[in-house]
Amino acid sequence: MSDKEQRTEISSLGEFGLIDKITGPFGKTHGDTFLGVGDDAAVIDRGVYFEVVTTDMMLEGIHFDLSYYPLEHLGYKAVSINISDVAAMNATPKQITVNIGLSNRFSVEAVERLYNGVRHACEDFKVDLVGGDTTSSASGLVISVTAIGTVDKDKVALRKNAEKADILCATGDLGGAFVGLQILNREKQEFLANPDMQPKLDSYKFVVKRQLKPVARMDIIHELAEKEVAPKAMIDISDGLASEIMHLAQQSGVGFTIYEDKLPIDKQTYDTAVEFNLDPITCVLNGGEDYELLFTISQEDHKKLEKHPDIHFIGYATDSKQGLNLVTKNNQVFPLKAQGWQHFNP
């Protein structure tokens, strides 16, 4: 490299800045490419319906630690997080492909355990495994899943579809996966200090499961269809609630106001966060990996969902000039900031 050659660190752009940088020069050659990079999945026009395609990669040491991650759970999660992206388009998953890179420390039996998890996920989400690739890896286990689904053209939920006065909804409960990761990391450190110790996880089963085996919320997609509610803008909560709200705001050109007392958090998540001297609301806003759904609905659809036990109305869309705000239980207003997981940070 010459002294005059410029070097830009990837960390200066971040994951999404890098994606924008490298994909910006690409155009569309085919008329049936309805939507490319920038949403939870690409959208292909198949005439009478849309096809959605999404892919995610998981690397050992970055996304998972095999010292405490059962291979069956890992196989399940690898599928589930892709199904979550399909769900975020208000689509129904149909097929997946699975690609894996294996180092020589893995046995046939270990790979079978991994694929047992893949198979259970296929059964749960009613998808077919239709292909993939297997190769050697010099840097541990790599698993990449591509998921394909379909959605009626008038039902597709894009991040750009939120409008002022829409109600902002979140499913399930948030922060549990992050808190579960703290438990697992603590147990790992105690094991390294004392290999004879027995894991103490009985009191933390809920949050540990939230980390090890998240379940994509296809049940919500089916229930919304039954209630004849079409989400307007939607995204899955993988990088933290605050980060996902920012994505919806940026792509829809709106602001959002959310309320602390409306944020869904399980009691075990709350209590465990306090045990670790963590602010539970910070865990909810920035924890990530919950794989719940965040979406907006029109005011007219509120009554259809107001009694749903697992859909929470956490705020509403505003004019973009109002920005993103969190209203505390004391009615104080603070700017909403995203501090979730950032790839490529030094």
Helix residue spans in the chain (DSSP H)? 14-23, 71-87, 108-125, 176-193, 205-212, 218-226, 241-252, 267-275, 280-286, 302-305
Quickly list DSSP for 221-262.
HHHHHHTT---SSEEEESS-HHHHHHHHHHHHTEEEEEEGGG
CB neighbour list of residue 232: distance below 8 Å, 6 or more residues apart: 157, 161, 162, 163, 166, 295, 296, 297, 298
Q: What is the mean pLDDT of residues 152-169?
A: 97
Shared-domain flag, residues 84 and 119: yes
Question: Which tokens sit at 81?
Answer: 């997080």
Shared-domain flag, residues 181 and 142? no
Same domain, 147 and 205: no
Tell if the pTM clears 0.85, that is, is over it: yes
pLDDT single digits (tens) 64-104: 999 999 999 999 999 999 999 999 999 999 999 999 999 99
C-alpha span between 295 and 310 (Å, rounded)? 13
Residue with tokens 């997946």: 96
Token pair 């890179």: residue: 101
Write down which residue in 151, 171, 203 finishes a domain. 151
Is the pLDDT confidence value at 108 over 50? yes
Last-in-domain residue among 105, 134, 151: 151
303 is in which domain, residue-wise? 159-335
Alpha-carbon gap, residue 85 to 93, rounded angstroms:
10
CATH of the domain at 203: 3.90.650.10
Is residue 223 in some structural domain? Answer: yes
Q: What is the structure's pLDDT at 341?
A: 47
